[in-house]
Amino acid sequence: MILTIDIGNSRIKVAVFEHNKQLDFFIFETNEALKNFENIFQKYPNLQKIILSSVGKLDEEVIEFIQNRFPTEIIDHKSKFPFTNLYATPETLGIDRMVLAAGATLMYPNQNRLIIDAGTCITYDFVNTKNQYLGGAISPGIKIRYKSLNNYTLKLPLLSISEDFNLVGNSTKNAIHSGIINGVIFEIEGFISQYSLKNQDLTIILTGGDADFLAKRLKSTIFANSNFLLESLNLLSLYIHQK
């Protein structure tokens, strides 16, 4: 039984796996980490190991608490990955992007894979049929776009994501919703279109906190899984320790 931990910029996601089957899932704010991990460890006292990746900041006290309870593997750039990293600056490549690329490589063998992570930022990562990681793109996520319009203007209000938006916004609020949400959708569709033109047998994985919201609105055929990073950590752990 494996516990996978994804420490993001604002929240922590945790899942319990038995082989490839997910048994449980938790999500909580970073400032509530210690209490939640105490509860998880009480519920699952027989964990075999923990695998963790982080792009956020977690108190050393919490990290030590985790490491003192169960064997813990923290994924970093020196970890074993199932792809060849051809990024020009591999030391700057985010661990989350590497884990997602690993999961796509292991789950969808012998294919071109485009992983789109729609979270705080929207990241695009491409792994070809030769299991070569070539890179991708980074752009602002939906929440950042809303905040930036408010931060860098005097009169535009701070809004949050809305289910109700049209192409033509008939008010300032509706125009903001249209610009941001349609802009993200058009961006993603554009990237998918360009990658599809250049790569046959392209598998597209959409993940991240806004994955479910966006999946309903994208025309492209995709595999939407908001917790793909946790599944990728589980697959990566099995890959690292295979005999």
Indicate which residues carry an active-site annotation.
96
Is 1 strand, coil or helix? coil
End-to-end CA distance of the chain: 18
Q: Degrees (nearest 5) of the Cα angle 13, 17, 23?
A: 85
How far apart, in Å, are the Cα atoms of 110 and each of 105, 113, 126?
8, 9, 13
Residues in the chain, total: 243
Q: How many Å apart are CA 34 and CA 146, to the nearest integer?
A: 31
Beta bridge partners of 126: 114, 135
Q: How many Å apart are CA 87 and CA 90, to the nearest integer?
A: 5
